Structure 1
Amino acid sequence: MIRAVGLVLMLAAPAAAQELSFSPAATEACLAAGAGPACIGVSANLCMTETPGGSSTVGTGGCLWAEADYWDDRLNTAYGALRTDARAIDAEMRDLGSAAPSQAEALREMQRAWMSFRDAACVYEASLWGGGTGAGPASNGCWMLQTGRQALDFEDRLAERSR
C-alpha cells in the first residue's frame, strides 16, 4: 500500500518519470567489490544526481523505486532458491523419520513476518514527513533499504549452504 504513494507521485509528473535513467551497474560493481549492505542505494543515488530531474521529489522517488524493484527481483530469486533447498531438506528429514520442524514452512512464516515489519517500518518513515511531499521518496527509500538488506541476507544464506 505505501508503495502506492510513490506510484502516485510518479504518475503526477509522467514527463519527469520518463526522463529517469536507472541502471543497477554501480550497485553490482559495488557488490562485486565486496562492500555488501553499503551498496544499497548506490545506483539510486547516481540516478538522482546524473539524471535531469533526478533530484526533484518525483525524480528522487522514481530513482529509489527503481532500485527497490532491483532489490525485490534479487530477493525473490534468493527466496525461491532458499525455498527449494528447504523443501529438499524437509523431504530428506521426513525420509529419516525426523520430527524436526519444516524449514520451508519456517522460511515462509519468517518472510511473511518480515514483510509486515517492512511495511510498518516504511509507513513510519513516511509518517515522519507529516504528510509532506517527502513522504513518497522516504517510503520508497525505506522499501529499497529493507528489501536490499533482506536480499543480501538471503544471498548470504545461499552462499553459506554452497560452501
Structure 2
Amino acid sequence: MRPFAIFAPLLAAAPLPALAQDVHDAYASGVAACFEEAPSVEAARACEGAAAAACMDGAEDGQTTFGMVQCQLAERDAWDALLNREYQDAIETFAADDAAEASADFARREESLRAAQRAWIAWRDAECALMQALWGGGTMGQVDAAGCLLRLTAERTVDLRALRESQP
C-alpha cells in the first residue's frame, strides 16, 4: 500500500489553514467606511474599485489571475454586505411609506422593490456570465467576470441608497 493512501483519510479530516482569501479580504475592510462616510451619491460611487486596485497592487499574488479575481471578489463581498443592508433599509422605508399611503392602490413600493431586486440579481448574474463567456476559455474571463460582479454590486448598492434617500 502506498504511504499516501494511509494518510489520505487523515489529511481529509484535518482542519485546513485559513484560505489565501483572508489576505485579500484585508484590503476590502475599508469599503464600508468609505461608503458610509461618503457625503453624496457621487462620493459613494468613487469608493468602487479602490480596495480591489490596492489589493492588486499590494498583495503578493495581486498581479496573477488568481490574485486579481480574489481581490475583486473580496471587494465584491464587502459591497454585497452593504447591498443587503441597503436593501433591507429600503424595504423598511418603502413598507412604512406604503402603510402611510392614503390609497392601497398606490401602496406598491415594497412589492415593486422586491420584484426589481429579484430581476436585478438575475440580470447581474447573466451579464457577468456573458462577460466571462466573451473570453472563450481564456483565464481573463474570470478576471472580467469578477470585475463585473464587483462593479454591478457596488453600483446597485449606491443606487439603492440614492433611491431610499430620495423618498419624501
Give the TM-score range, shorter chain.
Answer: 0.7 to 0.9
Greater RCO (CA < 8 Å, at least 6 residues apart): 1
Structure 2 residue 44 is matched with structure 1 residue 36? yes
From 96, 102, 111, the counterpart of 1:105: 111
1:70 aligns with 2:54: no
Do the aligned partners of 1:27 and 1:43 also contact (CA within 8 Å) in 2? no
Question: Which 10-residue stretch deviates more, 32-41 or 139-148?
Answer: 32-41
Query: Of 57, 64, 86, which residue of structure 1 is paired with 2:65?
Result: 57
Question: How far apart are residue 28 of structure 1 and its match?
Answer: 4.1
Aligned match for 1:22, one of 9, 19, 27: 27
Overall identity of the aligned pairs, in % = 31
Q: CA deviation at 1:114?
A: 0.8
Give ranges in structure 1 of 5+ residues lacking alignment.
1-13
Could you tell me which residue of structure 2 aligns to residue 10 of structure 1?
none
1:89 aligns with 2:102: no
User: Which ranges in structure 2 are unaligned for 5 or more consecutive residues?
Assistant: 1-17
Amino acid at match of 2:93: D
Relative to the length of structure 2, the TM-score reads 0.76
Q: What is the aligned residue count?
A: 147
TM-score of the aligned structures, taking structure 1 as reference length: 0.79
Give yes or no for contact 1:17–1:58 (8 Å, CA) kept in 2. Answer: no
Structure with larger Rg:
2
- RMSD after superposition: 2.4
